[in-house]
Structure 1
Amino acid sequence: MFLTAPDERTPKGVRHWADAEGAGRDRALAAPWFHAVRGRAGVDVSGDADVFRGHRIPHGDGTPDGVFAEWKWDGRRLRVRNDRYGVHPLFYYATANEIAVSTSVARLLAGGAPADFDGDAIAVFLRLGFFVGEDTPFRAIRAVPPEAKFEWEDGRLSISGGYWHGKPQGLNRDDAIDAFIALFRRALERRIAPDDNFAVPLSGGRDSRHILLELCRLGRRPRCCITIPRYPPRAPEDERVSGLLAAAAGVPHRILDQPPDRGSVELRKNWETHFCADEHAWFVHMIDYLEAEGLAVYDGLAGGLSVAGRFLSAGNLRLFEHGRFHELAEGILARFGVQTEAHLSQLVSPAWREAAGRDRALERLAAELIRHADAPDPTKSFNFWNHTRRETALVPYALMNRLPAVFTPYIDHDVYELLSSLPPSIVSPDLSSPNKSFHSEAIQRAYVEHADVPFENSHAPKLDARPHYRQFGSHAARFIASRTRRPFTLLNNAYVWPRVAMSLVSPHFAEKRAWLPADLLYMSQLEHAARSAAESIGKASDP
């Protein structure tokens, strides 16, 4: 597939989407990078030799807390380091005589990284919506592992790192809640913004509420709280509850309007999140506002450590205990899959149907699940090191990377060590994933004066999503039809094009296929990125 540049014949809406995609691509390509090739005459280098992104926070045990990615070339050796949890995006590719590192997948592709797809990785992504381990869509490009020890010298790469599990502490539930309150307070004290020019994005849940109320207790009220509606059919509970909480805390609150044009932000988001997230488009307008206002933020990344994880169940814990990882992978794909196998068997091209098929996803997922078997709560460990680290973290540390600062207190070392050490029965006595009582009780105990402010109602009536998907689907179809000049590779042309045509002539067709436009935009962009990279390499190698 090839996307042409917009010109005067391009429909206005399509030009707007193309401009938005270009803005996302330009941001991704502006990321720092470093490249070294060993040859007979020595090492030829290009790019940024000394880079630090993020922030370090001193910690009592001598290890740096905070979220960061860094590398330094001293003329002979490349040394790469990152934070304990590998939260800051950082990627590399390496061959026998070559190394490249960047905070952006797109920048590595533009610099010559091979663009061959990783079928196993894509198989998992299409079914769960995130990549696992150190996977990316491209076989040659890997995420740097957490707390990496990474060195390249004279063509030799040495790399280590991995997951960190808390050690069981033997606390009962009441003591664990008290410890959580105390450690979270200390975490925020270590992350005090230098001035009052910061905001707290506020939802109807627990993570942002805990941050806001603790900042107020410390006498550091934000300049404002910001809420943006999520896409339909999500009920408007964030707007309702965040307004009540901000008023109770005495903090100015602004609810932004969500622009109706979802496609343009999907196109931007895919580039800026390194093609590693199926979510987050709904954040983009809020982040644009924060950037325009020059506001730092406090983000609730990893607040999910304080509640039962999405994968928690007595059955899954038994499968972990008995080492039945393939059966566990089967259950996760069946219950948490974002697409049906019937849909994927038609959406994916025949050439990739086996290479990115369900069997490949099961094998890759089972191999990843093994890495979490020894954690106090293996379901929470799997969720944190994969969904949280590889997808959710892309909001504060990819989409928000132009803000003055982003503070994420839930991944403070002490807070993580406590919450990751708790057995599932402490956080969720009934071992059910919807149980959020541990964090609710902590907030109500710590801030008694606000205990009557309700949390979001998960049973609130949902919005009618048909107009949203009708517009999104028809606009996406128009964009793809106007801009595609070559047959798809990953996508099944025989399946896609009739549905694009139907979305153009019958908007009601799109409203019944909510999954289709985002899938088409993501996969078509992924193909374009790979094809453009391959063509650039080919041109560079021409005599």
Structure 2
Amino acid sequence: MPRGNFFMNDQCTWIELKMENGVTRMSGSSRAEFGHSVLDEDGLECGVSGGWTWNDHSLVIESDLHGYLPLYVHHTPDRLLVSDSPLPILSRLERRDLDPIALGFFCRAGFLIGDRTLFKDIQRIPAGARLTWTAGTLETELTPWKKTESPKSIKEAIDGWSDRFRVAMKRRLPVGDRFDLPLSGGRDSRMMLLELHGLGHAPRRVLSLGSSDSGASSDTSIASHLAHRLGLTFQEVLEHDVDWLSAERQRHVACGFEALEHVWLMPLWNELLQGGAFWYDGLGVGSLTRNSVASPEMAKLLRDGQFSDWASGLFALTAATSPRWLAPILERTPFCIADDQSVLSDLQAEFSRHRDAPNPITSFTFENWGRRSIALNPLAICRSQSRVELPFMDRDLVSWARSIPIEMMHENDIQTDACHRLYPEFSSLPFDDGSPPKKAKASLWLRYRRHRRKCSFFKNHARYFGTLPFEALSDSTDKSGSHRALVLMFHLASVDSLMSDR
């Protein structure tokens, strides 16, 4: 029986197999499917789908080609546990141990790398994996992604990317089904909307997070302008009346405690899930075509052998808090967390797998930041919606994007150029800067009530942090760092409660 129900998510699916006196006993779901299967013109999989099947003799588990579906496994000679979240597995283990190195990287970056989880005895299932369990024996087959020859010129890179994007969209047409489309002021959603519009498909509604009254250059204002220009129904999604603790708790559980970011998007995901229709999502493209971690300055650090400085630059671009807050938080946390050198060594080992790629930095971020954090938006937080179309995750488009040399990425903004070439009549419409929408200021009473709730949480559940949470709550000199410090302390306090069944 599972131990404790702290932060459990009843939307998660699991299966457990136990060998007892030569007999296999199964509990949970004998069959599970995740993601959305998309077949190419030859009937081969090019989407993001996976799952498992138990036939009373063998269990076959398959992950998607890129490993973006959150699938987890615990294996001993006489027992196997599989789930789409680490939490159902953890609740069924008699012994629970944290992974200090995974925790160390997580505290510095806000996500995980490789196939580690926060828990020693639970692993993420690798990309392109087929696991077969029979009578206590687990066999693993890995299918590497098919590499594509790199383009010889910028024109070839942009043309190849544009052509494959259009093919990816045609493979994912709504075919009469109603659908929604979340639209920002950025490139991803704009390209999907304009391509669908050109093919004669209109969304039931276009949604954007925030208010168009926040300025002509705001994310929502740009999205509203485009939607109205196309004659589409536009809906603003405002911040829900949910306090910070409740929103963070909901996100943490949905993500299996594996990411510190995304909470500001929760109102949008809740609105889409309640709407009942499927939608299109731009997952995958950011880490491959417009990647701040792969800037010329960051690339030079790697060329010069300054990996530690590159790692510091990576951490500064993530959801991690500032060094001012990190050190005292780690000192007060009631469990072992790896030091800087151990974390750096593990990061180097993971990065070494990507050094021979045409663009090693984007290869690393796609397989780690994208896979272990950003993908949790449509594939974990929104797991109750079985169909979310992910055209930028198309097998052929991803393979082409990964083949583009880093030097070409520095010379041109591939996605922006492709967008302007494909839709020249909209090239004068600006893009937003990618920052989260500004929230409307809450009333003084609401702010006071939320402040008191935060103070109460840390006083009752995280006394070991001492005065740190209250210093962060009152800090006005480093608002971003102090807020992220609060999120990290909330996360660590929640993990502590999770491990001790409190």
Q: Secondary structure at the match of 1:254?
A: strand
The one-letter amino acid of 1:445's match is R
Change (3 A) 1:471 1:383: farther
Distance across 1 between alignment mates of 2:121 and 2:499: 12
Which residue pairs with 1:526 in the alignment?
A: 495
Which residue pairs with 1:438 in the alignment?
A: 414
Which residue pairs with 1:421 in the alignment?
A: 403
| 213-222 or 36-45: bigger deviation | 36-45
Which residue pairs with 1:265 in the alignment?
A: 247
In structure 1, list runs of 5 or more residues that go unmatched: 6-21, 430-434, 536-543
Alignment equivalent of 1:395, drawn from 360, 377, 381: 377
The one-letter amino acid of 2:380's match is A
8 Å Cα contact 1:305-1:416 kept in structure 2: no
Q: What's the offset of the Cα at 1:339?
A: 2.5
| 391-400 or 187-196: bigger deviation | 187-196
Alignment equivalent of 2:467, drawn from 494, 498, 521: 498
- Deviations along 1:443-487, whole A, 9 cap, x unmatched? 111112212211115799978989899875543222333x53xxx
8 Å Cα contact 1:113-1:141 kept in structure 2: no
Which residue pairs with 2:169 in the alignment?
A: 188
| 447-456 or 206-215: bigger deviation | 447-456
- Deviations along 1:490-536, whole A, 9 cap, x unmatched? xxx45x232445678x697996832232122211211222222xx8x
Q: Aligned pair 1:55/2:24, yes or no? A: no
Q: What's the offset of the Cα at 1:102?
A: 0.5
Which residue pairs with 1:215 in the alignment?
A: 196
| 366-375 or 162-171: bigger deviation | 162-171
Distance across 2 between alignment mates of 1:459 and 1:222: 25
Written as runs of structure 1 = structure 2, the 5 A alignment for 1:236-315 is 237-259=218-240, 261-305=243-287, 307-314=289-296
Change (3 A) 1:269 1:337: closer
Written as runs of structure 1 = structure 2, the 5 A alignment for 1:303-382 is 303-305=285-287, 307-314=289-296, 316-317=298-299, 328-329=310-311, 332-333=314-315, 338-349=320-331, 355-382=337-364
The total of aligned residue pairs comes to 493
Distance across 2 between alignment mates of 1:168 and 1:455: 31
8 Å Cα contact 1:199-1:296 kept in structure 2: yes
Alignment equivalent of 2:366, drawn from 364, 368, 384: 384
8 Å Cα contact 1:474-1:507 kept in structure 2: no
| 93-102 or 339-348: bigger deviation | 339-348
Q: What's the offset of the Cα at 1:115?
A: 2.4
Q: Secondary structure at the match of 2:294?
A: coil
Q: Secondary structure at the match of 1:185?
A: helix
Which residue pairs with 1:141 in the alignment?
A: 122
Q: Secondary structure at the match of 2:467?
A: helix
Alignment equivalent of 1:118, drawn from 99, 104, 122: 99
Distance across 1 between alignment mates of 2:330 and 2:216: 32
Q: What's the offset of the Cα at 1:344?
A: 2.1
Alignment equivalent of 2:78, drawn from 97, 105, 119: 97
Q: Secondary structure at the match of 1:88?
A: coil
8 Å Cα contact 1:57-1:64 kept in structure 2: yes
Normalising by structure 2, we get a TM-score of: 0.88
8 Å Cα contact 1:79-1:151 kept in structure 2: yes
The one-letter amino acid of 1:116's match is D
Distance across 2 between alignment mates of 1:447 and 1:355: 50
Distance across 2 between alignment mates of 1:72 and 1:458: 41
Distance across 1 between alignment mates of 2:108 and 2:317: 10
Distance across 2 between alignment mates of 1:137 and 1:459: 29
Change (3 A) 1:253 1:161: same
Q: What's the offset of the Cα at 1:314?
A: 4.0
8 Å Cα contact 2:215-2:221 kept in structure 1: no
The one-letter amino acid of 1:395's match is N
The one-letter amino acid of 1:524's match is A
Q: Secondary structure at the match of 2:59?
A: strand
Change (3 A) 1:306 1:440: farther
The one-letter amino acid of 2:185's match is G
Change (3 A) 1:274 1:149: same
Change (3 A) 1:158 1:320: farther
Written as runs of structure 1 = structure 2, the 5 A alignment for 1:218-233 is 218-229=199-210
Q: What's the offset of the Cα at 1:283?
A: 1.7
Q: What's the offset of the Cα at 1:56?
A: 1.4
Distance across 1 between alignment mates of 2:437 and 2:66: 37
Change (3 A) 1:65 1:469: farther
In structure 2, list runs of 5 or more residues that go unmatched: none
Alignment equivalent of 1:407, drawn from 389, 402, 405: 389
8 Å Cα contact 2:72-2:122 kept in structure 1: yes
Percent identity of equivalent pairs: 27
Q: Aligned pair 1:516/2:485, yes or no? A: yes
8 Å Cα contact 2:15-2:29 kept in structure 1: yes
Distance across 2 between alignment mates of 1:90 and 1:234: 41
- Deviations along 1:400-422, whole A, 9 cap, x unmatched? 12225200000101111111110
Which residue pairs with 1:131 in the alignment?
A: 112
- Deviations along 1:209-235, whole A, 9 cap, x unmatched? 1111101011111111111139xx999
Q: What's the offset of the Cα at 1:60?
A: 4.3
